[in-house]
Amino acid sequence: MPLLVKKGSRTYLYQSFREEGVVRTKYHGQLSPQQIQEHHKRKEDQDLRKQHYQQMTALLNDLDTVRAVHDVIIRAGLLGNNQYLRRSEIRSLNNAN
């Protein structure tokens, strides 16, 4: 991930990398205003993708919870009618023997 460093009115680009287990930083030069805008746009897009991923993960977790509750409700309703579910087949408790 590029690192922007602002010194005074100028902005410089550095890139960190690992070499033989040691973190090093390489200077890539001064950036133009257009390059700075592109960098900020990429950063915003990346943050937005990360936020969407977290939201989708939370929704999927909520969906799993709803499915589990739904299954319990279905089983409770069947038991109330002296039935149960086995291998996607509704069976009567009277014929369980």
For residue 81, the SS3 value is coil
Residue 17 lies in a domain: yes
Residue 60 lies in a domain: no
Residue 19 lies in a domain: yes
**What is the pLDDT, as a whole number, of residue 88?**
84
**What is the pLDDT, as a whole number, of residue 15?**
92
38 DSSP 8-state letter: H
7 DSSP 8-state letter: E
Helices (H) and strands (E) in the chain, counts: 1, 5
Residue 88 lies in a domain: no
Give residue 8's Cα distance to chain centre: 37
Residue 14 lies in a domain: yes
**What is the pLDDT, as a whole number, of residue 94?**
81
Query: What total of structural domains would you count in the chain?
Result: 1
**What is the pLDDT, as a whole number, of residue 65?**
97
Residue 8 lies in a domain: yes
CA end-to-end distance (rounded Å), the chain: 66
CB atoms within 10 A of CB 52: 10
**What is the pLDDT, as a whole number, of residue 42?**
92
**What is the pLDDT, as a whole number, of residue 97?**
53
Residue 29 and residue 13 in contact, taking contact as beta carbons nearer than 8 Å: yes
Residue 42 lies in a domain: no
**What is the pLDDT, as a whole number, of residue 73?**
96
Domain extent for 20: 1-31
The Cα 52–Cα 49 span in angstroms is 5
Residue 10 lies in a domain: yes
The residues facing 19 across adjacent strands are 22
Q: pLDDT tens digits for the chain (97 residues)? A: 788 888 888 999 999 999 999 999 999 899 998 999 998 999 999 999 999 999 999 999 999 999 999 999 999 999 999 998 888 888 888 865 5
pTM of the model: 0.60
